[in-house]
A and B are shown apart, each in its own frame.
Chain A
Amino acid sequence: KAGVTQTPRYLIKTRGQQVTLSCSPISGHRSVSWYQQTPGQGLQFLFEYFSETQRNKGNFPGRFSGRQFSNSRSEMNVSTLELGDSALYLCASSSSFPPGTEAFFGQGTRLTVV
Chain B
Amino acid sequence: AQSVTQLGSHVSVSEGALVLLRCNYSSSVPPYLFWYVQYPNQGLQLLLKYTSAATLVKGINGFEAEFKKSETSFHLTKPSAHMSDAAEYFCAVRRSGGSNYKLTFGKGTLLTVNP
Contacts and interface: CB of A to CB of B under 8 A. Distances in A.
Interface of A: 4, 6, 33, 35, 42-43, 45, 48, 55-56, 58, 90, 92, 97-99, 101-108, 110
Given A42-B105, A45-B103, A102 B42 contact: no
Contacts of B103: 33, 35, 43, 45, 92, 103
Overall SS of chain A's interface = strand
Interface of B: 32, 36, 41-46, 49, 51, 90, 92, 94, 99-108
A25 B105 CA distance: 21
A107 B51 CA distance: 25
25 contacts: A4-B43, A33-B102, A35-B103, A42-B105, A42-B107, A42-B108, A43-B105, A43-B108, A45-B103, A48-B101, A58-B102, A90-B43, A90-B44, A92-B44, A97-B101, A98-B101, A99-B94, A99-B101, A101-B94, A102-B46, A103-B46, A105-B44, A105-B45, A106-B43, A108-B43
A112 B80 CA distance: 38
A105 B39 CA distance: 13
Shortest beta-carbon contacts, A-B, top 3:
A105-B43, A43-B105, A45-B102
A53 to B, nearest CB: 13
A56 B92 CA distance: 17
Contacts of B105: 35, 42-43
A97 B108 CA distance: 26
